[in-house]
Structure 1
Amino acid sequence: MDQVSDHVDFLVIGGGINGTGIARDAAGRGLSVMLCEQGDLAEATSSSSTKLIHGGLRYLEQYEFRLVREALAERERLLRLAPHIIWPLRFVLPHDEGLRPAWLLRLGLFLYDHLSRLRVLPGSESLRLRESDLGAPLQARLTRGFAYSDCWVEDSRLVVLNARDAADRGAEVRTRTRVEAARRSEDGTAWNVRLRDLSTGVTGSVRARAIVNAAGPWVAAILGQTLGLDTRATLRLVKGSHIVVRRLYAGEQAYILQQPDRRIIFAIPYERDFTLIGTTDVAYDGAPGPVTISPEETAYLCACINRSFERQICPADVVWSYSGVRPLYDDAAADASTVTRDYVLDLAAADGAAPVLSVFGGKITTYRRLAEHAMEKLRPYYPGLRPAWTGAAPLPGGDMAGADFETFLARFAAHHPFLAPETARRLARAYGTRAERIVADARGIADLGERFEADLTAAEIAYLRREEWARTAEDILWRRTKLGLRTSAEGLARLERHLAHAEAAA
């Protein structure tokens, strides 16, 4: 493997939200960091979420008050630090007779409004659905409801931006690199780690003072097979699936729908022309690799929508679906939907030996706090470690000098008038202030190079390859962007040819 470091302070296994968040935090505290991900960044669980930064209203039913309070505080903080990829979203919660009573919903929303001391988003309110545009898409039987606020996030971009910031602060980020084995050195003070570049098959090694095992669904396998360790913490795998259909309703509001099985399902505006619906919670005991939605899950999600919306859908209406395996900490809950979304950090370091910290569970909203807690666990091994810093540091592209997103977008569009309005908005949303690195000094659309479907250009592709570790068409169309929803088979083939030529010329 080319350019393998001989020694690092910190080796992170796993390029999802927790791994990249911890790598960023550690690099910003002055540690030398290497992150290894066997696939692409956010290739598994972290790109398969419902894409919400939220406190978790339904977690109040499980009395997870600490988790909800922490998540609500993080919701407000992350909104400030990444205003390009995170934005407010208003949710409509219809009251469905025979399910949770209205007083319970009102109480839950009161707690939701007041558990956080920070307040940027508007609070909850009662709705008469038949007298509001927000009730127009819903069936006439639903007459009462509530509205409250949470946030949307481009989940896979959040992962990439954490990795980008970690690299900007000196971390070495290696995608498509597997940690094949690791054992403590003879004196026990470091880990000797064998790596394999899965693109070339070339092996290499690195010596690390500590390992962070943030491998998500693979965390137990890394502990037992790769590191040769046992752990008291156990993992519970739950598959969550989503479907995407053509836009179901007008407006930018989302809906949170109660179900007779006591689960809740979201319907969320998605990529301008679509509606995202999910998620399922299905116990999973297979291999923690790629998973797909089952016909039963698709039928379930369609039925959930059809219970509440006037417009009915069926599996034939699904234009795209995705599934992921959530690595939850096993708290012995009987129902997969009630398993805690809190996290557990398991530190293995006997008699002063080089430590390994494993991450069990967690949710995307609290990743930054999880990273801070991980660093606190490891602080005794790094005397003089710098203090926590990520709570006030914008993510790449989020440094808008106090401007809100719409003000920034107006400036960006005015500086580049040749961009179509939707293209300018998409670039500003995805890249924030770093969109200037793509457009640079272009004076016309032709200066951005070859044009592909869905307004993708050679200049954007070059940026994604250079700055964001994109290698394949899937990396670009489904994780760095969601342009796969607007790309034909012919467009995909053309992009793949372009990438092959670019790789050969590199």
Structure 2
Amino acid sequence: MNGIAGSAPSAIRTGDLSNAGTGRNAGQSVDVAVIGGGINGVSIARDAAGRGLSVLLCEQDDLAAHTSSASSKMIHGGLRYLEYGEFGLVRKALQEREILMSCAAHLIHPLRLIMPHTADQRPAWLIRLGLLLYDHLASRRILPASAAVDLRTHVAGQALQARYRRGFAYSDGWVNDARLVVLNALDAAERGAQILTRTRCVSAQAEAGIWRLELETRSGRRQSVTARSLVNASGPWVAQTARSVLQQPAATIPPLRLVRGSHIVVPALFAHDCAYLLQHSDGRVVFALPYEQHFTLIGTTDVDQHADPGQAQISATEIAYLCDLASSYFARPVRPVDVVHSFSGVRPLLAGEATGAKAAALSRDYRLLLESRPAPLLQVWGGKITTCRKLAEEALDQLAPLLGNRHGAWTAHVCLPGGDIAATVPDVRSVTGLADFVASCQQHYHWLPPALVQRYVYAYGTRLHRLLEGCRQMADMGEWLAPGLCTREVRYLMQYEWAQQAGDVLWRRSHLGLQLPAAAVERLSAWMQARYQDHPHVSQS
């Protein structure tokens, strides 16, 4: 695994085409153009750039603005998928769980899940059998095996109703999903890719083996780009992009079902680090996870989304569903009035022949469609955040040979930016190295509050040394725009991580929006707007 803690920032190709039509942006030509700045798009851009291909990625909004920041915040194999016979998907996801934990130690942490059990649920023997299979479908160097637990004595039982006396424990991973997207984009950019946010592809035509793309910014400026290949990784918009941008006949577009998954955030229901898997009488499962220290995250739902995916919002019915289920498990009831925040994302699921099936039964696997003529086109259908790296690797294994590139796969053993945290066990970074690294950083930056240093580590990993380069005292951090948020960090996010608006900082680069008053949000927004001008990346000076 590579990466040098605290090394000087390298030049990256970023922007929003604000100066389109002049300079190097005019008539640009690349090997690979990617439409979509969610987890699959940025992972493909990263893999392609690392193979030596020139890459341009355009995203109509902010990175991870939609589905990729609206997950259940888990890197997991999908225990419930075993019921539907998705053994291949579960095995692939479990293998990726271990790889991602080692490559992004600061973003992905071990998570112990508790499954309370009563006699009216799935039989205990069936659950135990499923957990044993889950344990053995892939190697576990990092996480412990599953086990039966006595909830009368286990710490997780204290928050539950007294009727829950027994249960099961197993392990998966927690992830900062939006930052996983941003760091894949950052690694792609540092390897030469150009990342264009708030820029949409309005047309793409293949002529004489070359794609000719027309890109448009929010301000209406346009730019023509040529590409030797094109990747449609636009998530829930993949079919719409195929129809309206690529002008593909409807009959050639695979059936896709858009399913909304919603989550609610409530004040913390428990004071430990375990999460819960809650079984509903309808056969679905819902997670309750510790979230941002003071909250509990509960989700998700499965509801068909017929409106624009960009306008997905939780319904009152979904809120009631999640509250009622949580209230049937926890000692403290959860009411709709307790909800302090909610978010919804739309998952593009492969419909196949199961048009009338329950959304929960649809596969979370992905399908890659590659066409070599009239010019190479790869389209991504479905997928989940856990398998993003593998999806990208398979995509480039198919696409790169058409471009004469024989570099081969490389991402399985290379850290994402900031993930190069030393470990006490060779090649196992996430469990054995992170706590020591946090402690050493808190000692080194003793003039900063320990909780703030820990947040920096969890967000930036070893890159916190870049963020704090030249800082020796609180005065060096600049103005404090809100509790825990200074201008030093905001400048860094604008310069290196494509943050342009307050929401980019508060909800995707961090989750500080949960705890800040409206006045602080307005102050941050005004500060950023005053410094944005024509280009989103400002000087660190």
TM-score over 0.5 for the alignment? Answer: yes
Query: Which amino acid letter does the alignment assign opposite residue 280 of structure 2?
Result: Q
Alpha-carbon offset, residue 349 of structure 1: 2.9
Q: Does 1:314 align with 2:343?
A: no
Alpha-carbon offset, residue 232 of structure 1: 4.2
Q: Does 1:210 align with 2:232?
A: no
* 1:266 equivalent in structure 2: 287
**Separation (CA, whole Å) in 2 of partners of 1:266 and 1:117:** 24
Alpha-carbon offset, residue 138 of structure 1: 1.0
Alpha-carbon offset, residue 142 of structure 1: 1.2
**Separation (CA, whole Å) in 1 of partners of 2:244 and 2:155:** 56
* 2:406 equivalent in structure 1: 385
Please list the CA deviations of residues 325-379 of structure 1 after superposition, one character each: whole Å capped at 9, or x if unmatched.
11111134310111100000112333xx211111111000000000011112213
* 1:288 equivalent in structure 2: 309
List aligned pairs for 1:30-429, cutoff 5 A.
Answer: 30-185=52-207, 187=208, 189-198=209-218, 200-230=219-249, 231-333=252-354, 334-350=357-373, 353-402=374-423, 404-429=433-458
Query: Which amino acid letter does the alignment assign opposite residue 410 of structure 2?
Result: W
Equivalent position to 1:472, from 501, 507, 515 = 501
Query: Which amino acid letter does the alignment assign opposite residue 473 of structure 2?
Result: G
**Separation (CA, whole Å) in 1 of partners of 2:520 and 2:194:** 33
The answer for unaligned runs of 5 or more in structure 1 is none
TM-score scaled by length of structure 2: 0.91
Work out whether residues 96 and 258 of structure 1, in 8 Å CA contact, stay in contact via their aligned partners in 2.
no
The answer for unaligned runs of 5 or more in structure 2 is 1-16, 425-432
* 1:494 equivalent in structure 2: 523
What is the RMSD computed on CA atoms of the aligned residues? 1.2
**Kindly, what percent of the aligned residue pairs are identical?**
51
* 2:479 equivalent in structure 1: 450
Alpha-carbon offset, residue 172 of structure 1: 0.3
Alpha-carbon offset, residue 234 of structure 1: 1.7
**Separation (CA, whole Å) in 2 of partners of 1:19 and 1:504:** 27
Query: Which amino acid letter does the alignment assign opposite residue 347 of structure 1?
Result: L
Alpha-carbon offset, residue 70 of structure 1: 0.6
* 2:39 equivalent in structure 1: 17
Work out whether residues 23 and 33 of structure 1, in 8 Å CA contact, stay in contact via their aligned partners in 2.
yes
Please list the CA deviations of residues 16-58 of structure 1 after superposition, one character each: whole Å capped at 9, or x if unmatched.
0000000000000000000000000000100000010000000
Work out whether residues 397 and 408 of structure 2, in 8 Å CA contact, stay in contact via their aligned partners in 1.
no
Q: Decide which moves more: 404-413 or 379-388.
A: 379-388
Secondary structure at the counterpart of residue 480 of structure 2: coil
Secondary structure at the counterpart of residue 136 of structure 1: helix
Query: Which amino acid letter does the alignment assign opposite residue 238 of structure 2?
Result: V
Work out whether residues 44 and 290 of structure 1, in 8 Å CA contact, stay in contact via their aligned partners in 2.
no
**Separation (CA, whole Å) in 1 of partners of 2:438 and 2:518:** 32
Secondary structure at the counterpart of residue 342 of structure 2: strand
Query: Which amino acid letter does the alignment assign opposite residue 339 of structure 1?
Result: L
Secondary structure at the counterpart of residue 140 of structure 1: coil
**Separation (CA, whole Å) in 2 of partners of 1:289 and 1:402:** 41
**Separation (CA, whole Å) in 2 of partners of 1:244 and 1:291:** 17
Alpha-carbon offset, residue 465 of structure 1: 0.2
Work out whether residues 372 and 402 of structure 2, in 8 Å CA contact, stay in contact via their aligned partners in 1.
no
* 1:432 equivalent in structure 2: 461
- Report how many residues are paired: 501
TM-score scaled by length of structure 1: 0.97
Higher RCO (CA 8 Å, separation ≥ 6 residues): 2
Q: Decide which moves more: 234-243 or 395-404.
A: 395-404
**Separation (CA, whole Å) in 2 of partners of 1:332 and 1:118:** 35
**Separation (CA, whole Å) in 2 of partners of 1:399 and 1:263:** 38
Work out whether residues 125 and 146 of structure 1, in 8 Å CA contact, stay in contact via their aligned partners in 2.
yes
